Amino acid sequence: MDCPHCKQELPALPCPACQRSALAGAGYCHHCGHELPGPVAEPPKLIACDSCGRKALPEASYCSDCGEPLAGGEAGVLTPSGFDPGERVACSDGLCIGIIGVDGKCTECGRPHRPSDQ
């Protein structure tokens, strides 16, 4: 069986309870029913925001803490033409992490911007 995270073949390990060979990737020993430890996958490689230092996944386009574009992300692909990143406005939803695009709608949830004074 392959690891669901890294797709490498999992070795057959002995069950910690009965010491018999357990099936690779199984949750429980097929001999005694003891719960087996899960596979240990390599943690994802993270990048740091140049502005605030917050860690992010390499495919992230913007920092989730300060909103600055990330060097490792695809910010250029997601930024609509004519959009000035320095003038971005956060989504008024309160739960959404998106920003308001040039069309007046959130880039994540698609809702129109509603200023807080309304």
Q: Would you say residue 8 lies in a domain? A: yes
Structure tokens at 61: 């386009």
Q: Would you say residue 77 lies in a domain? A: no
- Work out whether strand 47-48 and strand 55-56 pair parallel, antiparallel, or are unpaired: antiparallel
Which is more confidently placed, 24 or 15?
A: 15
The pTM of this model reads 0.31
114 Rama sector, left if φ>0, alpha if ψ -120 to 50, beta otherwise:
beta
The domain tally of the chain equals 1
Q: Would you say residue 62 lies in a domain? A: no
Q: Would you say residue 66 lies in a domain? A: no
Q: Would you say residue 70 lies in a domain? A: no
The whole-number pLDDT of residue 30 equals: 84
Distance (Å, whole) CA 80 – CA 77: 8
96: pLDDT strictly greater than 50: yes
87: pLDDT strictly greater than 80: no
Averaged pLDDT, 101-112: 84
The confidence band for 101, taking pLDDT boundaries of 50, 70 and 90, is confident
